[in-house]
Structure 1
Amino acid sequence: MPSLRTVLIAGFVLLAPSFAFAATYVVTRTDDPAPGACAVGDCSLREAVLAANAAAGPDTIQLPAGALTITIGEIVVDQDLVIDGAGIGTTIVHHALPTLLHVEGAALALSNLAIDGPPLADDPPQAILAEAGASLVLNAVRVPVEGGGVTIQGGSGPTLDMRACDVDYAIVSSTDGTIDVADSRLGLLVLNQGEIDLHMQRTLIDAPAPSIVPAGIAIMTTGDVLVEDTEVAHARQGILVQGLPLSSLVFRRLHYHDGSAPLQVITPTAFTIEDSEFDDNTAIADFPGAIFAGNGAQANVFGTTFARNAGNGDTGGAVHLESGAHALIVNSTFSANTFTSAAAGAGARGAAIGLLGSSSNPPQLTLNHVTIVAPTFAPVGMEGSAIGVRGAPANSATIVFNSILRGSCRFESPLGGSLGNAHGNIEAPGHGCGLDDATNIEDASIASLALGALDDHGGPTPTYQPAANSIAIGAAIANFCLPSDQRGYLRPLADGCDVGAVEVDAIDRIFADGFQ
């Protein structure tokens, strides 16, 4: 009869797992010969990948410094794999293929290399095509458009993780998945379908001319989207959000500048913009310079500055609302927004904000503690240097509290109109906004506002800070005073508050408790 010790040992042997040890393959060749074995001192990239596919992995391939050229067809990756170069500017993989790396249901991690190609004569190729639930991790990888795009399609649950990358375009089309982008530059990112979550931070979206890539982000997904500390420059695509409603959509500390297409949200989604700047954007198509909201979108804008944007449509130089869109704009500043000369010549209306009314689906605008300053020089034909509304009064709604309107309003003629529910506001220099002088100040002079210049007065975004003798100080209606101003400084609610986005005697939150 076997001993207990013998039985236990035998059982352990039967239950012990079969371990597969990861291998490391060192590429020594820079050409792409007909594949053979990946031998020590004689191994190409293709041979190394074939060897890794045949092993259980996950394996690692080390690439040398210099230029590698791939010529005889795409390289298929079907096992989890790490490919590591000698540096983003040191290891360069050249190809002129429709697809360079084809990842099938595996996890591929690329780092410290670039993928390049010849000047484009046609549509760009694919640098990386990942399918059937494959996942990609890119760290310090550069892929210009000549080298191709990064595409993930098909399957469920893929991930794309990009860190310190420089990629001209990436497209994700899957039923669901997660995208994390940080400390990178992207030309164009497209989320094409499914429930895809995006978290982007400290990233530049830019593809300046003469690039063929129309810089921007296209979001056609139903997941959660959070974009933080990100710069969007020279955008010809802009940020486009359409399709089914998203679970959440938040832009925090976004700098959107020098583009020709706005942030467009044309799906019934509530979205939030916090502590952001939209400046020096000039629309080319029939759009505002900064934000277009329609189809029931609900914009919540806090602590944001819109400066020197120019619309090219008939309503809204910086912000345009239509088709049931609602916008709540709080503690924010509009400065010198305008229209292109062509749009102004055709009677464009509402240099800062425009509403296109609808009897069946009216838009709504709510402003609280907002400062609007019209451009010093308005293009010929422009109507309403602050707010403009098209359509009968019943076809849109405006609610304005404790705000400065240093500019004019324009409503539909001959129907007239006014800012419907408006209290605690100051209009200068006229009275075209139809304010009730019992609860607002009309016909104020620009000098009496004493706003000074748009500048850094503390906080994350540029603001106007009224001088000590400004009529805005202490003139707000207390019931509509907010706890803090655009800079995040605390308003002294017990003593009343100032009209506009900035509280002159506000207390920086850092010192609010009396300690430094």
Structure 2
Amino acid sequence: TLREAITAANTNTAVDNCPAGNITTTVISLPAGTYTLTIPGILENDNQTGDLDILSTVVINGAGRDTTIINGNDLDRVFDVRDAGHATMSHLTLTGGGNSGSSGGGARAVFGGTIHLSHAYVTGNSSDGFNGGGLAVMTGTLTIEYTQITQNVATALGGGVYNLNGTTNIRYSAIVGNEAGSSGGGIMNIAGEGDATLTIMDSEVLNNTSGNNGGGISNVFDTGHTATLLVERVWIDGNSAAVGDNGLSGLGGGLTNNVIINAASGAGIVTIRDSVISNNQATNGGGIGNTPATATGPVNVQVTVENSVIWGNTAGGNGVQTGNGGGIASLDGTLTVINSTISGNTAAGTAGAGSVSGLGGAMLIGSQVLPNNVTLVANTIANNTAVTGASGIAHASLGGATTAQFKNNIIAANVGANCVNNGGTMTSLGYNLEDTDSCGFDQATDLVDTDPVLAGLTGDGATYVHPFMDDTSPAIDAGSCTDADDNPLATDQRGVPRPQGSGCDIGAYERVLPTVSIAVDTTADDLTDNGNCTLREAIEAANTKTAVDMCPAGGVTTTITIPAGTYTLAIAGDRENDNQTGDLDILSNVVLVGAGQAETILDGNSLDRLFDVHDPGRAQISHLTITNGSITETSSGGGIRVFEAHADIDHVRFHGNLAGTLDPDFGGGGGGIYFFGSTGSLNQSEVRNNTAFTVGGGVYILYSNVVVSQTLIQDNSSVFSSGGGLYNSASGDNSSVMIVDSQIISNTSAFNGGGVGNVVGTGFTATMHIERTLISNNSTVLADDVSSGAGGGVANGVFIGTITGLADMTIRDSVIRQNTATNGGGISSTPAGAVGLVATALTIENSAIADNTAVGSAPQTGNGGGILALDGSLTLINSTISGNTAAGTAGVQALSGVGGGIVVGSQALPNNTTLVANTIVNNTAVTGASGLANVNVGAGSIVAAKNNILADNVGANCVNQGGTATSLGYNLASDASCTSFDQTTDLTSTDPMLDVLTMDGATYVHPLMAGSPAI
């Protein structure tokens, strides 16, 4: 039975006809059928009666959520996942759970338990007198994906989902038609005796109801704790929070953020992005409620709304102080709304015994006791209604200080006054537009008594906006491109880049002008009025928005089509940035499209680089080849430079470009491409046979954020420095690069990182993430008798003299093979050269590091054939380290030719290494430790190992010289040299019976042969 299978998993013993569970994970297959609980008894936690108690790691796979049904039969909840229990359940339905003894009608994760639920239905469950009609988390973890949670009931909190002091993540799911007697009809997130975090993304919260607050979602905290809620790309519609008798009962029809009664401190932090909050109802705050109404101390309730729409919500009621804030009610807290539309909301309350009813069709903001702060930037607030006053914004001080600041907003077409201010402070930061004059907008850039010429609310993608009816709107190009703190407003509500014209538009909507297309009709290079349209002239027309020769004027975005042919630069002159000589300077939004890599050839003629994209330029370059670009002296980027700008490069071949001179003191970096303080991508491209005389033979990334995907980086060279294929440097600011689905092959460098290098300077972070990538046959060249080229495939390190900083490298699902260096033949990670507490972190998962070599005969060389990791952290999981060689011979000092597979240790800073589930075999070291060497000559080196095989290395599997090595059990070594393998579950002097290195899919493994003791 299902109960017996779970007991077998919990106890790791056979039960009836169910075999013993697995000590790590037990997989239970559940065929189609209805599985009904029949053994009565609640509040028992050993799986004997009532619910199904999961105390171990279990995977339950149903046959489909329409066919595999688990019915609680109203005896108890269906599942209780407790303590170390970890349940992954998919393709099934949980129904009929009825719990009157505690929370969680369908399932509960408690005391650290974990539930991962996907492709499921949770429907028709209940929690009588408690919380979480569908699912409950109580100091545990819950993940919900591709699941529908419907028609569940909690008589207290959280009709669908209840998260108490836990962590819940919801994606691609629907929370529909659930009911809570108190708060959180759909979802309740509560920080009671600990912090609580709930994230919901790409989901729907529809038609849920609550008897008090938060018809859709409620976020609540108690003294000293923080409840954090992130809502992203979520539709919250048709939910209701019931009308109470008086006060602020029934707050937040769609979502509420408030406190547990008498909370004296703590925080509720809510962030809403790219979402729709529509057609919800409550007594106050029809869409959103944000107030610590019952707090007794200085608590922090904070709501941020970005790129969202709040429309068609209603606040209604006839009691005292009710029916306020149709879209939003925010009192005694912090509210920030950016790039959002608030439209068609209604404050429908009629005056009762109190004076505050039916105010703020769009929003009611103000203070009752605690200070209130509101910031509104780049919003469109239109067509809202209030019964008694302020159809747009009602701002009131009912006791405490309250301030509101406005920038770049449209407030218009509301049924009644746009603004009413009663005792608060309202400040314009400029660039606001109002169709009357009730908001006190008094800056020179404000527009009052001005019609914005808005169209009705219109669907646009996944959101709703008020577009302009035509190009006559005075809001167009009249706004600011910065927020209240003068940070850039990069996009509008829809994600459309700002600005599209000469300035940003006021409001949440940025008008998009049509793209202009220019066709180049000659391969010549000139700026002469001679009856043609050259590539240089086309770029000039795009930059200046004026016609040049036969090229028409460019637009906000200009697409330039470059037919097949060879286009050779002919106008000499460099270090000029206005497109007149030398390289082609891109200063606007340009899309360059060639006829194909083999057809459209752009030749730099060794005069200059080909393209220089610099602020405010934004370039998309595709389907062409860039060759013979050359930049000399101290500049960088032989083919393309992206300087404080953005460039997306797709299906482009970089071949034979040069950055630098033969003088290493003046050499440039980035033979093919150079990103400086920029963002961008390199996709489905080829970077080959390029040369840099300093760093980044192929690609140089300096405090930028770049993604490289499906790209070949091959046969590039860094002549006098590091990063033969690609170099990422965080010097001057943080820098990040992601390399996925790519190949980095046969590149060379004089120093570190024959394939790629990741380097940090003082105070910054250099991040490199490598995934599903082959790094092969790269090499570093021994530069002199002491300095060495470390990291034949990959180098992770620091600049000489660095005091603080982090070089963070992650490698997943990749192959590092047949690379060569003086130290760290495959990979090197060390802060050598630092003078302070610099961190180097290397994480490798699901990868193969094979047949790499560390060579050299100078002092302290030829160490770490596969990996060299010193003075930092190394985490190695689920990987194969095989056939690597530490070939160095002993020089003046002793550390040479050590660690055929891996050498870790400390020279100056502490080193921490974690090895889990790896196969480290067939490696060779000339002088010691062919498998793993742990060497401490500095501040301490710690190695922790679990579930590893170290075997058949040529020489000792392990050498520990002054370090600390600890077994966490389940390791296997073929000899007795790994003396730390001392746990009862370790196996030493045991042959693991491995097969030869074999390619399996996109990686390399040593399969276990039949009869292996590792099985």
Query: Fold match, TM over 0.5?
Result: yes
> In the TM superposition, what is the alpha-carbon distance from 1:200 to its structure 2 partner?
1.2
Q: Does 1:355 align with 2:365?
A: yes
Question: Quick one: which amino acid aligns to residue 142 of structure 2?
Answer: I
- The code of the aligned residue for 2:111 comes to G
The code of the aligned residue for 1:432 comes to S
Aligned with 1:487 (options 486, 494, 512): 494
Partner of 2:378: 369
Tell me if structure 2 keeps the 8 A contact 1:116–1:147: no
Is 2:293 aligned against 1:321?
A: no
1:404 and 1:152, CA in 2 relative to 1: closer, same or farther beyond 3 A?
Answer: same
Match 1:106 to one of 56, 77, 84: 56
Q: Does the C-alpha gap of structure 1 residues 439 and 129 become closer, same or farther in structure 2, counting only changes over 3 Å?
A: same
Alignment counterpart, residue 239 of structure 1, candidates 217, 221, 224: 217
Secondary structure in 1 aligned to 2:619? coil
Tell me which amino acid in the other structure corresponds to 2:61: S
Matched, 1:258 2:238: yes
How far 1:399 moved relative to its partner? 0.5
Residue 263 of structure 1 deviates from its aligned partner by 1.2
Q: Please give the per-residue CA displacement for 1:20-39, whole angstroms capped at 9, x wherever unaligned.
A: xxxxxxxxxxxxxxxxxxxx
The C-alpha deviation readout for 1:43-85, integer Å capped at 9, x for no partner, is x555655666533423555555444554344698969xxxxxx
- Structure 1: how far apart are the matches of 2:72 and 2:109? 23
State the alpha-carbon separation in 2 of the partners of residues 62 and 490 from structure 1.
49
Aligned to 1:189, which of 148, 154, 161? 161
Q: Distance in 2 between matches of 1:418 and 1:48?
A: 65
Aligned to 1:249: 229
Residue in structure 1 matched with residue 279 of structure 2 by the alignment: 280
Contact 2:219 2:229 in 1 (8 A): no
Could you report, residue by residue, the CA deviation over 1:73-128 in whole angstroms, capped at 9, with x for unpaired residues? 4698969xxxxxxxxxxxxxxxxx9833233x32343331212256x7xxx83111
CA deviation digits over 1:433-468, x for unaligned, max 9?
122164422222xxx3221121134x5311111121
**CA spacing shift, 1:61–1:274, aligned 2, 3 Å:** closer
Separation in 1, partners of 2:202, 2:2: 37
The residue type paired with residue 402 of structure 2 is S
Distance 1:114 1:147, change over 3 A: farther
* 8 Å contact kept, 2:362–2:381: yes
Q: Partner of 1:468 in structure 2? A: 471
Matches within 5 A, 1:413-428: 419-428=426-435
**Structure 1 letter corresponding to 2:106:** V
- What pairs up with 1:90-489 in 2 under 5 angstroms? 99-103=50-54, 105-112=55-62, 113-116=68-71, 125-145=76-96, 149-152=105-108, 154-156=110-112, 158-168=113-123, 169-174=134-139, 177-187=140-150, 188-193=160-165, 196-207=166-177, 215-221=185-191, 222-236=195-209, 237-244=215-222, 245-246=225-226, 248-260=228-240, 261-266=253-258, 268-283=267-282, 286-295=283-292, 296-312=300-316, 313-323=322-332, 325-340=333-348, 342=350, 347-358=357-368, 360-375=369-384, 378=385, 381-391=387-397, 395-406=401-412, 407=414, 408-411=417-420, 419-428=426-435, 430-436=436-442, 438-444=444-450, 448-457=451-460, 459-466=461-468, 467-477=470-480, 482-489=489-496
> Which position in structure 2 is the counterpart of 1:31?
none
Matching residue's letter, 2:393: I
Say which SS state the counterpart of residue 99 (structure 1) adopts: coil
Q: Deviations over 1:231-254 (max 9, x none)?
A: 100121421111254475321111
SS in 1 for 2:236: strand
Partner of 1:32: none
Q: Which has the bigger relative contact order, CA under 8 A and spacing at least 6?
A: 1
- Which stretch has the larger CA shift, 163-172 or 204-213? 204-213
- Consecutive unaligned residues of structure 1, counting only runs of 5 or more, are 1-43, 80-96
Q: Which amino acid aligns with 1:133?
A: A
What's the CA shift for 1:477?
A: 4.3
SS at match of 1:266: strand
How far residue 352 of structure 1 moved from its aligned partner, in angstroms, is: 0.9
Q: How does 1:31-110 map to 2 (within 5 A)?
A: 44-45=1-2, 53=11, 54-55=13-14, 56-58=20-22, 62-63=29-30, 65-73=32-40, 99-103=50-54, 105-110=55-60
Question: How far off its partner does 1:230 sit?
Answer: 1.2
CA deviation map 1:276-327 (0-9, x unaligned): 11011112xx33112112232222221001111112334311111112x111
Q: How far apart, CA to CA, are the structure 1 residues paired with 2:187 and 2:218?
A: 6
Measured in 1, the distance between the counterparts of 2:183 and 2:430 equals: 47
On the 8 A contact 1:315/1:356 being kept in 2, the answer is no
Structure 1 residues 510 and 213: alpha-carbon distance in aligned structure 2, compared to 1, 3 A threshold: farther
Distance in 2 (CA, whole Å) between partners of 1:440 and 1:224 is: 40
2: CA distance, partners of 1:493 / 1:468: 13
SS of residue paired to 2:199:
strand
CA contact (8 A) 2:219 2:268 kept: no
The secondary structure found in structure 2 opposite 1:456 is strand
1:423 is paired with a residue whose SS is coil
CA distance in 2, matches of 1:493, 1:478: 11
Identify the residue that residue 91 of structure 1 maps to in structure 2. Answer: none
**In structure 1, C-alpha distance between the alignment counterparts of 2:239 and 2:7, rounded to whole Å:** 45
**1:332 is matched by which residue type in structure 2?**
S
Deviations 1:119-159 (A, max 9, x none): x7xxx831112333322221112123456623435433x21
Residues 402 and 50 of structure 1: CA distance in aligned 2, closer, same or farther (over 3 Å): closer
What does the per-residue CA deviation read over 1:339-361, in whole Å, with 9 as the maximum and x for residues that have no partner?
23557997321111111323x52
Q: For residue 386 of structure 1, what is the amino acid of its counterpart?
A: G
Task: Output the amino acid matched with 1:396.
Answer: T
- After superposition, the C-alpha distances for 1:148-198 in whole angstroms (9 at most, x for unaligned) are 623435433x21101011114011113xx32211111124111123xx222
Correspondence for 1:498: 505
Preserved CA contact (<8 Å) 1:250 1:272? yes
- What are the superposed Cα offsets for residues 201-257 of structure 1, whole Å, 9 maximum, x if unpaired? 111111268999974111114244321101100121421111254475321111100
Identity, % of aligned pairs? 24
For the structure 1 residues 274 and 263, does the alpha-carbon distance in structure 2 shift closer, same or farther, using more than 3 Å as the test? same
Q: Which secondary structure does the structure 2 equivalent of 1:288 belong to?
A: coil
Q: Which amino acid aligns with 2:343?
A: S
Distance 1:242 1:211, change over 3 A: closer
Amino acid at match of 1:287: N
The question of whether the paired residues in 1 share the 8 Å contact of 2:350 and 2:357 is answered with no
Provide closer, same or farther for how the CA distance between residues 440 and 392 of structure 1 changes in structure 2, counting only shifts above 3 A: farther
Q: Tell me how many residue pairs correspond in the alignment.
A: 432
Gapped regions of structure 2 (runs ≥ 5): 15-19, 63-67, 100-104, 124-133, 151-159, 210-214, 241-252, 260-266, 293-299, 317-321, 514-555, 558-588, 592-617, 623-1015
Matched-pair contact (CA < 8 Å) for 2:28–2:60: no
Question: Following TM superposition, by how much is the alpha carbon of 1:273 offset from its aligned partner in structure 2, in angstroms?
Answer: 1.3
